[in-house]
Structures are given as structure tokens and as C-alpha cells.
Chain A
């Protein structure tokens, strides 16, 4: 029998129908498959004959998977720890200041490390100054009006603004911790440096949040930040820097942090927006 040119020969509909429902002969099926690789018309016929249920169902799943934003490493870690998936997404969506000020923190602590080459004292002082204040700066900027460009929209949602504020704070502070600990460990000097700054940082952040609704976040941050700076300066002057991180002081800082947190919960009032001309 003569073999017609492949381009003009098409498998007939009954064969394709058998192919679609799986009843076609094995070797014939292989032939159909080879033919389909090169023939768009027959592929179209198969599309017409195929049942739509499976195909629509799979398409919905493809679409879902393609559209949803990829879960970041941070989100996955949080979900592993037990944070709800929705909260993890919110945490990850904190306005992308973190990049900017983690960079600022890193360069400041680098400065401390370099400075400590010259003088161990200098390194310590700088580190103790910067490490608690950097998260504070992050929080203050996070909550100034311009930081979240979609703030008007966000405010019209039922999600507790307080909760969002605290989530953002956690996100901001949590990003600081690994960097600061690593740098603290790298600094020559007493080993307490790498963790001694944590409770002052907590105190500083929560005091700022507590005073924020009363003084405005920026002013409150400035006041608290200045107080800490004075404490560090004083301790340097009187050569008692290590006392700053003694257990007694640590406990005081933790107590202040707790008081601040409680105050935030009890007394928090949502910030209303300043009028912008329409």
C-alpha cells in the first residue's frame, strides 16, 4: 500500500475518540501519539472530544498556583513555628523599609567593629548605642504617616490596627536581632555584648509605642532614644559600661518593656488621619 505524505493524513475521529477514552490498541495508540506531536488539527479534535471536567478542575489549580505569591522563606519559617498562615503573609508584607534600615544597622555595626580596632571601648560604646536604637528607628519610621502608602485603605478594614502595629514592630525588631547578635559576637570585648543589648532594645521599643499615642511616635522615639543615649554616655564617663548590662539593669529594662506593652494594649487609640485637601 502506498504511504500518503504525513502532512495530509489525519487519524480519523473514531480512532481519536478511542485514544481519548483509553481504549485504543497499544501500538496504534503510540502511532496516534507520534502523529499528535506534529499535527495541530488533530490536537484540536482531541480537545473537542475530551471531557471538560478534569481539564477545568486542573486549570483552576494551575491558575491558583501560578497566581499566588510565592511563600517566602520568612513566611514558611513562621508557619513552621505555629503562626497562622494569614498572619505570616501580613508579617512578610511589612513595608519594605526593612531592607533599608537593616542595611543602616549593618553599616552602623560595621562601623562599631572597625572602631573597636582602634579602641575596644569605642567599639563597645558605639554598639551599645546603635543596637537598641536601630529597631527603634525602624519602628518610628514604620509608623510615621508616610511609611505605609496604602494606610488610608488599610484603616478602612476591620483588622485591628493595633495588631498590625505590633506585628510590624515584631517584624522590624526580629530582622535586627540576627544581624546584631552576629556583630556583637564578632566584636572584641566581653561576650555579654552580643545579647546584653536585647532587653534595653525591648524597653526602648515598647516605651516608644506606649508614649506614641500621647506624644506622637516621632517625638516619643526621640525622647526615649535620647534617654538611652544619655545612659550610655553617663556609663562611659563613669567607666561603668558593663553595669549597663548587669542582671539588675536587665531586669529593669524587661520590666519597663512589659509595662510599655501592657500600656499599649490597654490605652491604645487608633491614630486618625490628618486631613489632606480633596
Chain B
């Protein structure tokens, strides 16, 4: 295997053995997209930076428990999202939400963008755009990011009850759109 073909799983394995260079390489590969993805949920740059730091420290410490059967990006995102929620919770009500979680209507898309939407989400993509923003945001947090109701409530600064009802309505609306 050529040096350029080191897989993420290989890097995590090296990390478990105390190889800091492997951590650096994993960081170079994944920190950029993780940072962007986190920033879309939280507009507070410091909270995002802290969450990113926590993520890779946790990845270093937990390297041994990474099974390697799951993919590294999913593993890292799972850690990152939880760390973000934790940081946001610590900061309290003052934390600004990122663009992914703001209740905004969707503008029109160009053709290439429509294509991406369809590739990744098939019919779901366009349907998602048609349901109301407040419902969509909750769906994003719970269904797409895999947060619990409690975590979504912390992140979005809305009561848990509201999260639950919006989720139910989002799902039924989506079903209507897809039918």
C-alpha cells in the first residue's frame, strides 16, 4: 500500500498506540469539514473551536475503542455533535444558532444544486424544502444529526415538549409531501 493510501482506520489504530503524528493527519483530513458542519449549527466561533478541540482530544483518548467497522467520519461527527451540545449548554441561552438551525424559508436552487439534493436524499430533499422552517430545523437536529430530544432542546433553546410536538408534525408533513 502506498503511503498516500493510509486509511482513517489505520490512523486511528496508530493513535491508539500513542502516535501523535497519526492524530495530526486525522486532524488535517477531518477537522476542516467538521468545523464547517459545526459552524452551520452554532454561530459562536469560540463554542465551535472548543467543541472541535474536545472532539479530537476525545478521539485521541478513545482511539482504542473505535471498532473500525463503522466509518471514521460518522464516529467523529457523533463525538463532535455531542461536544457541541455540551459546550452550548455550558454557555447558556446566549449562544447564537448557526444557519442550519435558523428558521428560514428556502430560496430557489440552481440545477446542479438540485442534483446534489436528489443524489443524497432522493425525493426527501425537495420535500424537506417545502415543509415549514421551524419543523425542518427540528428534523435536522433529531433525525439527521441524531440528537436526543433533550440535546436538541439545549441546542435550539426551545423546550423539550416543543421539540417533540414539532417532530411529530414534521414527520406527518413530510409524509404528506412525499405521498
Complex A–B touching at CB under 8 A: yes
A→B interface (CB under 8 Å): 1, 3-4, 6, 9, 11-12, 15, 19-20, 22-38, 40, 43-44, 46-47, 49-50, 54-55, 57-59, 61-63, 65-67
Name the interface residues of B133-171: CB closer than 8 Å to any CB of A: 133, 136, 140, 144
Are B112's CB and A15's CB within 8 A? yes
Complex CA distance for A180 and B77, rounded to whole angstroms: 50
Are A26's CB and B119's CB within 8 A? no
Are B129's CB and A27's CB within 8 A? yes
B69 within 8 A of A: no
Name the interface residues of B34-88: CB closer than 8 Å to any CB of A: 35-37, 39-40, 45, 48-49, 52-53, 56-57, 60, 71, 73-74, 77
Complex CA distance for A58 and B49, rounded to whole angstroms: 6
22 contacts between A and B (CB under 8 A): A1-B115, A1-B118, A3-B118, A4-B119, A12-B112, A20-B36, A22-B40, A25-B107, A25-B113, A30-B128, A30-B140, A33-B144, A34-B120, A36-B37, A37-B71, A37-B73, A54-B45, A54-B48, A54-B49, A57-B49, A62-B23, A66-B20
Contacts of A23 in B (CB 8 A): 99
Which 3 residue pairs are nearest across A and B when measured between Cβ atoms?
A50-B32, A31-B120, A47-B32
Main secondary structure of the interface of B (DSSP, over half): helix
Contacts of B122 in A (CB 8 A): 3
B90 within 8 A of A: no
* Given A3-B118, A57-B49, A62-B53, A37:B74 Cβ within 8 A: yes
Contacts of A28 in B (CB 8 A): 109, 113, 116-117
From the candidates A15, A26, A67, name the one contacting B116 in the complex (CB within 8 A): A15
From the candidates A22, A27, A59, A65, name the one contacting B27 in the complex (CB within 8 A): A59
Count, A-B residue pairs, CB within 8 A: 138
From the candidates A19, A20, A47, name the one contacting B28 in the complex (CB within 8 A): A47
User: Which partner residue on chain B sits nearest A39 by CB separation?
Assistant: B73
Complex CA distance for A61 and B128, rounded to whole angstroms: 38
Contacts of B95 in A (CB 8 A): none
Are A31's CB and B119's CB within 8 A? yes
Contacts of B53 in A (CB 8 A): 58, 61-62, 65
Contacts of B30 in A (CB 8 A): 43
For residue B137, give the distance in angstroms from its CB to the closest CB of chain A: 8
* Given A43-B30, A55-B31, A59-B27, A25:B125 Cβ within 8 A: no
A22-B39, A46-B32, A58-B35 provided; 18 other pairs, C-beta below 8 A? A1-B118, A9-B115, A12-B112, A15-B113, A24-B40, A26-B136, A27-B106, A27-B117, A29-B99, A30-B140, A31-B120, A35-B120, A43-B73, A55-B32, A57-B49, A66-B20, A66-B23, A67-B20
For residue B85, give the distance in angstroms from its CB to the closest CB of chain A: 17
Contacts of A66 in B (CB 8 A): 20, 23, 57, 60
Complex CA distance for A184 and B109, rounded to whole angstroms: 79
Contacts of B49 in A (CB 8 A): 54, 57-58, 61
Complex CA distance for A65 and B58, rounded to whole angstroms: 10
* Given A3-B118, A31-B125, A34-B121, A26:B32 Cβ within 8 A: no
Are B104's CB and A35's CB within 8 A? no
Contacts of B128 in A (CB 8 A): 27, 30
For residue B83, give the distance in angstroms from its CB to the closest CB of chain A: 12
Are A54's CB and B112's CB within 8 A? no
B29 within 8 A of A: yes
Contacts of A54 in B (CB 8 A): 35, 45, 48-49, 52
For residue A38, give the distance in angstroms from its CB to the closest CB of chain B: 8
Are A46's CB and B74's CB within 8 A? no
Complex CA distance for A4 and B32, rounded to whole angstroms: 27
Contacts of A12 in B (CB 8 A): 112
For residue A43, give the distance in angstroms from its CB to the closest CB of chain B: 5
Complex CA distance for A261 and B54, rounded to whole angstroms: 47
